Amino acid sequence: MAGRQAASKERRRARILRAAADLLDQRGFGNITMDDVATAADVSRRTVFNYFPSVDDLVVAVGVDWLRDLIEQLRLASPAQSQVAPPPRQDLRQDSAAAVFWDLAQALRSTDLVAPIVRLSRSLGGVGTGDPRVAAAVQHAILRLTGQLADQSRLRHPEADRLTVDLVVAGLISGATVIYDHWARSTGAVDTPESRQTWAALVEFLIERTAAGPLAPSDRANTPVSGN
């Protein structure tokens, strides 16, 4: 009985998220209300509030849902293939922290994040609107992934202590919010071959700098979008 109720609640939540996503695509963030979402999802307004306290919370949940492929890529990543380039310190390769890091690094490389980030940015009104909620909501959605990614990392690496996993995952995902800001200002947050190349270069730079450490020497000339 409890299992059926939980499944029913999850289906209802998914229906609300789908309805909200459709409305965001059609109208944008500033033109939807909880009543609109309730009508589109065929549930009561109270039901929507039972799952999401505000429109902002609902939008962030939609953003996390759009970025869920990153979690799936981490689940599917092969530890043996999770390191494309060797880390600066070879002695870390066997450490649990290194294993968690290179798994997530490969997931960031393998996941198409440009499409969902562009979709979310457009739904929130685009880049350069002057509304701080645009960047904040995108970054919040990415940060909300940290807990889910950490959970998946702990499943993959049960030998790693919780603090190690949380620090490694938080470091990379927080870095992803930083490179999003640089990427959006450089490209206008559009989905083009050129913007994808810029995103890929920024991801590689993030992985390289995080693996090397913030105080390691860096060639500024090789920094992606260094002039922006």
pLDDT per residue as tens digits for the range 130-181: 566 666 776 677 777 788 899 999 988 888 889 999 999 999 988 988 898 8
At 204 the pLDDT is: 95
118 in any annotated domain: yes
Domain of residue 100: give its range.
Answer: 67-222
Alpha-carbon distance of 148 to 72, in angstroms, equals 11
Same domain flag for 72 and 48: no
How confident is the prediction for the chain on average, in pLDDT? 82
Alpha-carbon distance of 131 to 124, in angstroms, equals 9
At 130 the pLDDT is: 55
pLDDT per residue as tens digits for the range 45-98: 999 999 999 888 888 888 888 888 888 888 776 654 444 444 444 444 458 888
pLDDT(13) > 80 = yes
Write phi, then psi, for 102 (nearest 5 degrees). -70, -30
Q: CATH no. for residue 40?
A: 1.10.10.60
With contact defined as beta carbons under 8 Å apart, do 58 and 37 qualify? yes
At 55 the pLDDT is: 86
pLDDT per residue as tens digits for the range 15-24: 999 999 999 8
Same domain flag for 171 and 216: yes
